[in-house]
Amino acid sequence: MIATVAIAFSLFGPPQTTVLAGDTVTWTNKAVRKHTVDGLSEPFDSPELFLGDTFSHEFDTPGTFAYYCRLHPFMRGEVAVYRVLLDPPGVAASAGRPYTLRGRASLPPGSTVPIAAQDGTTVASATVGADGTFSATVTPTATATYRAPYGNAVRLDVLDRRMSVNAARHGRRIAVSARVAPASPGGTAVLQLKLKDRFGWWPVARAKLDATSHVRFTLARRRAAVARVVLTLPDGATPLAVSPAVRIRSRS
């Protein structure tokens, strides 16, 4: 994979880059003045880069590699290279609910990757797939840091989310609205109905929370129903918070 770094007028952005062994870092000069990318310990040196020019280097050995611009020595950056790389969590977790951590490894397919909590206790394990990716499920009770051997550490924030919900019938249609606190704009919300023929709760619609952490569903349904809204991970299946159930009367 390729990680990108922008070279600004007087700094590298981001100044710290984390990659997996075998990944390539590409620098692009976004400034009107010339710059270079020179390794302090790893032997890589770019030519002078003009506006729009790029320079790439593949990092095969784990370690931390500092670099600078030889034309402006105060400009410094760093690349951290790992054999196991956990992806930063995209959304916060909920206490006591399973959460899937994902990552990549430069290890043989079938290798086992243990996932450790901050105190060093192994809390999960994963198997490296043929494409080098892996996933492991943890169940946090509070905000925590997780790490894999020979890998980076990631922080998983845990929020105590609460959901309010209301429902109303408008003729042949029903409207179900929900709000999440603390605010989670862009989160995935799934409307579920309790259906006898499905033996329980069944997803019937999915939507994103708006900028105010609110979502509204509208369905055509004449019969009475019991509904709830579930906040999930982007997969639409892993729950983070569940609203109370609301009963919707049948159309008279």
Reported as a single tens digit per residue, the pLDDT across 132-184 is: 999 999 999 999 999 999 999 999 999 888 999 999 888 888 899 999 999 98
pLDDT for 237 equals: 87
What is the separation of C-alpha 209 from the centre of its chain, rounded to a whole number of angstroms? 17
Sole residue written with tokens 């983070």: 240
Write down the pLDDT at residue 127: 97
Cβ contacts of residue 120 below 8 Å, gap of 6+? Answer: none
Rounded distance between C-alpha atoms, residue 104 and residue 230, angstroms: 30
The DSSP bridge partners found for residue 227 are: 193, 246
pLDDT over 90 at 224, yes or no = no
Task: pLDDT band for 252, please (50, 70, 90 cuts).
Answer: low
Give the closest residue to 46 by CA, choosing from 78, 66, 68. 68
C-alpha 163/C-alpha 246 separation (Å) is 12
Checking if the pLDDT of 251 tops 80, the result is no
Q: Alpha-carbon distance 86 to 150, whole Å?
A: 11
Token pair belonging to 127 = 């198997």
Tell me the pLDDT tens digit for each residue of 188-198.
Answer: 999 999 988 87
Torsion of CA 47, 52, 58, 64, to 10 degrees: 80
